[in-house]
Amino acid sequence: MKVERTALPGVLILEPKVFGDARGFFMETWNRSRYAEAGLPGEFVQDNVSYSRHGVLRGLHYQSPRAQGKLVHVLEGEVFDVAVDVRVGSPTFGRWAGATLSAQNRRQLWIPPGFAHGFCVTGETALFCYKCTELYAPEHEGSILWNDPAIGIAWPLEHPTLSAKDAAAPPLAAVSPARLPTLTGER
């Protein structure tokens, strides 16, 4: 497996080995010992799948407390996937890293706990998979405005389709630090 570090500490782009021939291909999307060598935790507690059409943008979402780490990849289609450091006290607070994930490139993105996450569908559709280190807790979920100018994400879409919740999300500077995760993971 190839591991590429991003500009954000802990955010990784992973390229699993793919074994293919005229019949198709095979790849491991998770192997606890192999991924632990890359720095990922050994336990995931929830798997999610979302399906979206071209132009849909989901995010930027985070949880605090009970921050979720997410290992994400695309089974069908293509997305531009983003992690934003929202950990109070982090030297990279408010910075982002992104990667194109697709069924063709078979890349994965590891988003550690304490980072906000979002993606937009750049293909016709996307079947998107998440492995999460914490259970979803709606009472602890927070959102950051997808196009917050202070973060400056270079989204490949100017006018995405958003949920009402994502369209109304505040910029990062308007979120109380008490609602954000911390660098130490304590809250």
Check whether the bond before 60 is cis (ω within 30° of 0): yes
pLDDT at 186: 61
Sequence-separated (6 or more) residues with CB below 8 Å from residue 112: 10, 11, 69, 83
Catalytic amino acids?
A: 61, 130
- Fold observed for domain 2-19+31-179: Jelly Rolls (2.60.120)
Task: Please report, in tens digits, the pLDDT of each residue of the chain (187 residues total).
Answer: 999 999 999 999 999 898 988 988 888 888 899 899 998 987 999 999 999 999 999 999 999 999 999 999 999 999 999 999 999 999 999 999 999 999 999 999 999 999 999 999 999 999 999 999 999 999 999 999 999 999 999 999 999 999 999 999 999 999 999 999 998 766 5
Residue boundaries of the structural domains of the chain = 2-19+31-179
Angle (nearest 5°) at CA 49 between 136 and 86: 45
DSSP string, 117-128: EEEEEEEEEEEE
- The pTM score is 0.94
pLDDT at 28: 87
Q: Which residue's entry shows tokens 């505040």?
A: 170
